[in-house]
Amino acid sequence: MLSTRAALPKDAKHDFYSFTADEMDRSNGGSVLGSEFGSNALLFVSAGGDTTATALAALFFYLSHNPRCYGELADEIRSTFQAGDDIRSGPALASCRYLRASIDEALRLSPPIGGTLWREATRSDQEPNPFTVDGHVIPPGTQIGVNTYALHHNERYFPDPFAFKPDRWLESADAAKPEEQERLKLMREALNPFSTGVRGCPGKSLAYMEMSLAMAKTLFYFDFEVDRGEKGEKGKRRGKGSTPPPTVFACRDVFTSTHDGPYLTFRPRGNLVDELAASK
């Protein structure tokens, strides 16, 4: 694939190669190796596709296993939009606060990249003091990081951390109280599925839009539930803390997260699905 694209003129397509071709020309001062281009291109494919797919899978899983949350979100979508074609990026979709809260809660419980994104500690002449974490001096060159899954399940920031509770992201009736503001502030700072700082995911806004559109469209046209057969049990495991313990979506860390399921049954809502057939 890379060889085929490299054989075409640089501007033949408006793609990643068109932006980096000049930087791969070592005879002209380029700084990017061909091997670096290939590895980064593959990273972009997984970072832009696998992660969003995993987040949506988790969202479908948690909604299908939490009927009250499912009903709350379905009511919000179906009362906000009168037709499926009205569901697009804009103020109406942005007003769906329970939708955003549900997405954030799924990202918290089952982050698409749940491991540790390592960074190297550096020190410049402009920084007279050494880099220090919790009283420990971190020497330059040391690899450091925070495990995303562990951070997202820390009870200090997220009480009952294995439970799917979108409401935790919504302002309560005590929103004006300092302790409520501090609670939300701590949670928002601890939620870190896209990493942070200069190495944070540049596609964060796009990912939120994709997930919002996909779930809003689905809930407008369909109802769904856990498959009642053997496949409906796939992807389930027990969390900790509550009695009985909550059901959580099982993900495995292989840089991005892999998973099995969820397996769901979808049913059209009346004749609304005819809109989809007519729009093809």
Residue 217 lies in a domain: yes
For residues 107 and 198, membership in a common domain is answered with yes
Neighbours of 215 (CB within 10 A): 22
Residue 183 lies in a domain: no
Across the chain, what does the average pLDDT equal? 87
Q: How many domains does the chain have?
A: 2
For residues 24 and 39, membership in a common domain is answered with no
Residue in this structure with the two tokens 């050494």, named with its chain if needed: 130
**Alpha-carbon span 143 to 28, nearest angstrom:** 33
Rounded to 5°, the CA angle 90-197-208 comes to: 25
For residues 103 and 4, membership in a common domain is answered with no
For residues 211 and 271, membership in a common domain is answered with yes
**Alpha-carbon span 171 to 173, nearest angstrom:** 7
User: Which stretch of DSSP H or E encloses residue 264?
Assistant: strand 264-268
What is the pTM assigned to this prediction? 0.85
For residues 8 and 74, membership in a common domain is answered with no
pLDDT-derived band at 25, boundaries 50, 70, 90: low
pLDDT greater than 90 at residue 9: no
For residues 66 and 107, membership in a common domain is answered with yes
Residue 38's contacts (CB-CB under 8 Å, 6 or more residues apart) are 2
The CA-based diameter of the chain, rounded to the nearest angstrom, is 68
Given the DSSP bridges, would you call strands 236-238 and 247-249 parallel, antiparallel or unpaired?
antiparallel
- Choice among 20-34, 171-185, 191-205, 257-271 with the minimum mean pLDDT: 20-34
List the one residue out of 215, 218, 106 whose CA is nearest residue 163.
106
List the one residue out of 49, 76, 51, 50 whose CA is nearest residue 63.
76
What confidence tens digit (pLDDT) does each residue in 103-152 have? 999 999 999 988 998 888 887 656 777 888 889 998 888 999 999 999 99
Residue 270 lies in a domain: yes
pLDDT-derived band at 49, boundaries 50, 70, 90: confident
User: Quick one: CA dihedral 91, 92, 95, 98, positive or negative?
Assistant: negative
Residue 149 lies in a domain: no
For residues 59 and 104, membership in a common domain is answered with yes
Question: 111 near 151, Cβ under 8 Å?
Answer: no
User: Quick one: CA dihedral 188, 71, 209, 248, positive or negative?
Assistant: positive
Question: 75 near 234, Cβ under 8 Å?
Answer: no
List the one residue out of 41, 44, 53, 15 whose CA is nearest residue 207.
53
Range of the domain at 88: 33-112+163-168+194-279
Residue 42 lies in a domain: yes
For residues 43 and 9, membership in a common domain is answered with no
For residues 108 and 198, membership in a common domain is answered with yes
The crossing angle, in degrees rounded to 10, of helices 34-64 and 67-80 is 100
For residues 49 and 75, membership in a common domain is answered with yes
For residues 1 and 91, membership in a common domain is answered with no
CATH number at residue 95: 1.10.630.10
Residue 261 lies in a domain: yes
Residue 218 lies in a domain: yes
**Alpha-carbon span 125 to 155, nearest angstrom:** 39
Residue 268 lies in a domain: yes
For residues 203 and 274, membership in a common domain is answered with yes
Residue 255's contacts (CB-CB under 8 Å, 6 or more residues apart) are 46, 113, 115
Neighbours of 164 (CB within 10 A): 25
